[in-house]
Amino acid sequence: MSAPPLNEKFASIRKGLLEFLILKIVASDKVYVADMLQRLSTTEFATQEGTLYPLLSKMRREGTVDYEWHESDAGPPRKYYKLTPKGKAQLDELNQYWAYINQTFDNLGRA
Amino acid sequence: MQKVITINLNGNAYQLDESGYGALHTYLEHADAQLGGNPDKAEIIRDLEQSIAEKCLRFLGPGKSVVSTLEVEQILREVGPVDGGTTPSGHAAGQHTPHAGSDATTPPHPRRLYQIREGAMLSGVCNGLAAYFNVDPTIVRVAFVVSAVVEMAVTDDPPWITVMIYVLLVFVVPYAKTSEQRAAAQGASEGIPYKVQEVVERVKAKFGGLHHKAR
């Protein structure tokens, strides 16, 4: 069950963009991991716990996200992630950089 | 009949089939190796265990207290292999470097061909082939039947070649006896010295002359 070649070409780009997207998701709402997976599941960036937990722990070490424990109705308490001020600053920077990359991409090759 | 093993996932007890336990154990060991020197390793493993535990609950109810092997395998596929990131170290670097650059969705270990008795119709050959190629066992069984029918139509004889291939596989392909071997049949383990090429070699070595004699 291998992905089509075109999809393969973008695998590393998708992987690199995942952290950016997590910042965006966490910025919009207080979310726990199942929420994040759910929101990504219908996109090109669908991922799994095995990828997400190590990434979130790295982001927390770098100080861009943090979590708090909240009781849940069903089952044990959950970690809800939120953006730190540093994460907010990084997201703004990334948004600008992304716009810049898009601009470059659109302009290149034009007469 | 399978032995049931009770495990503790983040403070709650769950009962798994013995081979399901083997698959989970292999998964967590692999996660441990992938995370290598990650300072948050213990926490990440706890988070993963919690996710697995929550997914186990989905399969349990008033009339069902044991999570079956197939259910454990489904849960582990949903959770996905642990991606150690760009800084594999120590243990992880030594064992998994060949896979470090590959896509995260490729299985971390080579698959091994086995006969799988659980859910088998005859000997488990088709079941093992299905696990190896990651398809529904029914498809493999239908393929064998179609092959036999085609052979009968072409040769106007009973389907000797198809039957022979099946019987050869029964004798040559080993059974997945341990939980590690069953996990390896799905591509989730390592260290079992068995590859398809080796099976082919064994066929050649054991039955090299048979083909000629049969003619």
Choose, out of A13, A17, A47, A49, the residue to mutate when testing the contact with B (most B CBs < 10 Å). Answer: A49
B201 in any annotated domain: no
Within a domain: B148: yes
The predicted complex's ipTM stands at 0.82
Is B89 within a domain? yes
Residues A59 and B170: their CA atoms lie apart, in Å, by 51
Contact residues, B window 10-39, toward A, CB-based 8 Å cutoff: 10-11, 31, 35, 38-39
pTM for the complete prediction? 0.57
Please identify, among B44, B68, B98, the residue that sits at the C-terminal boundary of a domain: B98
Q: Which residue bears the tokens 């008033």?
A: B62
- In chain B, residues with a C-beta closer than 8 Å to the C-beta of A76 are 10-11, 50
Of A34, A35, A25, A13, residue with least CA distance to A64: A25
Domain assignment present for residue B199? The answer is no
Residues of B in contact with A3 (CB under 8 A): 103, 105
Question: Binning pLDDT at 50, 70 and 90, where does residue B100 land?
Answer: very low
Judged by average pLDDT, the poorest of A9-18, A66-75, B26-35, B100-109 is B100-109
**Assigned domain for B209 exists:** no
A22: contact with B, CB 8 A cutoff:
no
> Within this chain, do residues B125 and B75 fall inside the same structural domain, yes or no?
no
The residue range of the domain holding B30 is: 4-98
Smallest Cβ–Cβ distance between B83 and the set A8, A51, A61 belongs to: A51
Q: Do A33 and B51 touch (CB under 8 A)?
A: yes
Q: Name the band, by pLDDT with cuts 50, 70 and 90, for residue B208.
A: low
Distance CA A35, CA A32 (A): 5
Residues in chain B within 8 Å Cβ distance of A47: 80
pLDDT digits (tens, 9 = 90+) for A37-58: 999 999 889 899 999 999 999 9
B11 vs B32, higher pLDDT? B32
Among partner residues A3, A33, A54, which is closest to B85 by beta-carbon distance?
A54
Number of domain units in chain B: 2
pLDDT in tens, A68-108: 988 877 667 889 999 999 999 999 999 999 999 999 989 98
Q: What is the DSSP string of B77-131?
A: HHH-----TT---THHHHHHHHHHTS-TTS-SS-----B--TT-SSSSHHHHHHH
Domain end among B81, B98, B115: B98
Assigned domain for B202 exists: no
- Across the interface, of B11, B44, B134, the residue whose CB is closest to A53 is B44
Confidence class of residue A8 from pLDDT cuts 50, 70 and 90? confident
Mark whether B183 and B109 lie in a shared domain.
Answer: yes
Strand intervals (E) in A1-111: 65-70, 78-83
Is A3 part of the contact surface with chain B (CB cutoff 8 Å)?
yes
**Cβ pair B80:A53 closer than 8 A:** no
Q: Which residues on chain A are in Cβ contact (under 8 Å) with B82?
A: 50-51, 53-54
For chain B, what is the mean pLDDT? 77
Q: Are strands B4-9 and B12-17 parallel, antiparallel or unpaired?
A: antiparallel
CA of B152 vs chain A CAs: smallest distance (Å): 32
Please compute the mean of the pLDDT values over residues B189-209 and round it to a whole number: 58
pLDDT for A26 equals 93
Is B107 among the domain residues? Answer: yes
- A59-73, B68-82, B145-159, B197-211: the lowest-pLDDT one: B197-211
Looking at the structure, tell me whether residues B121 and B187 fall in a common domain: yes
**Measured between CB atoms, does A13 come within 8 Å of chain B?**
no
pLDDT tens, residue by residue, B60-98: 888 888 999 999 999 999 999 997 764 433 333 333 333
At a CB cut-off of 8 Å and minimum separation 6, what does A76 contact?
Answer: B10, B11, B50
